[in-house]
Amino acid sequence: VLPTVEFAGYRVAVDIGGTFTDAVVVMPDGTVRSSKSPSIPGNQDQSVAAAVDLLGLPLDQVDDFIHGTTTALNALLERRGARLAMVVTTGFRDVYEIGRANRPEMYNIKYHRPPMLLRRKDIFETDERVAADGDVLVAVNEPAVTSLAQRIRGNYDAVAVCLINSYRWPEHELQIKGILERELPGVSVVASSDIAPEWREYERFSTTLVSAYVTPKIQNYLGALEERLSAGGLRSPLHVMQSNGGVMTAQTGLKRAVQTLFSGPVGGTVAGETLGKE
């Protein structure tokens, strides 16, 4: 039994693993109840619902629902993510492939670079350019972007839009994102200025690619889970663990899938730190 803390309702946390799904509830009087249910491959939302059902509590009285998931991490490690395309400023097509000069195993003659998330032929250039000070050197050519969307349609599940200097001046990137979303219904479009608005192109491009790569998996999963829990009576927002140990709403997770990459493992780290302080 935890120290008595008065809550208006129940607080629920669920972590899903490859074998079992674990659920814990903190009651309004501070007591704790837990449950364990087999994880169902391909139906993780059903696994979560089953574990919560075993707790035997009314979902409409849950004030806080937090979930940890390895969906994004598994998709990345197993290379089961989206068919990925990338749109870049003309002249920056090779940023992702070149990477950085630093090598983790410089003297290992057997070292092999991990496979990239997409091939060079999946990277498309578009004529636009914003200078470092924000001056528009080349405006976005909307008909050209619309034509580019036709080349992408039917061949890709997700598109990462990564333009030079968009970390500070995102207008062109957001304009292109809007055009692609309009022309490519059902395709996830992710802009680097939304995911990692930081300078240094390789880091921003690669982070955005990872986010786009796992976005369809996260959207399908969290969308189905929110719908199932809402149908079961949940009125409070569904929260998801972030890689940094904090939480975000599932709706934010749908837009920034890369932040859920360590959603599952980080829960144990945060718990260990908390218990250590006690």
pLDDT in tens, 85-112: 999 999 999 999 999 888 778 899 898 8
> Is 98 inside any structural domain?
yes
What's the total number of domains in the chain?
2
pLDDT in tens, 132-180: 999 999 999 999 999 999 999 999 999 999 999 999 999 999 999 999 9
Q: Considering 158, 181, 213, which residue would you say is the last residue of a domain?
A: 213
| Position 110, amino acid | K
Q: How confident is the model at residue 5 (pLDDT cuts 50, 70, 90)?
A: very low
> Is 2 inside any structural domain?
no
What token pair was written down for 51? 């574990």
Q: Considering 180, 198, 213, which residue would you say is the last residue of a domain?
A: 213
Q: How confident is the model at residue 264 (pLDDT cuts 50, 70, 90)?
A: confident
> Is 57 inside any structural domain?
yes
105 shares a domain with 52? no
- Supply the range of the domain harboring residue 55: 10-75+219-277
Is the predicted pLDDT of residue 1 greater than 60, yes or no? no
For the entire predicted model, the pTM comes to: 0.91
> Is 1 inside any structural domain?
no
149 shares a domain with 40? no
CATH classification at residue 141: 3.40.1360
Distance CA 154, CA 90 (A): 23
Strand 62-68 versus strand 10-16 pairing type: parallel
> What average pLDDT does this structure show over 247-265?
94
Distance CA 114, CA 124 (A): 22
> Is 43 inside any structural domain?
yes
pLDDT in tens, 174-233: 999 999 999 999 999 999 999 999 999 999 999 999 999 999 999 999 999 999 999 999
159 shares a domain with 105? yes
Please, what is the average pLDDT of the chain? 93
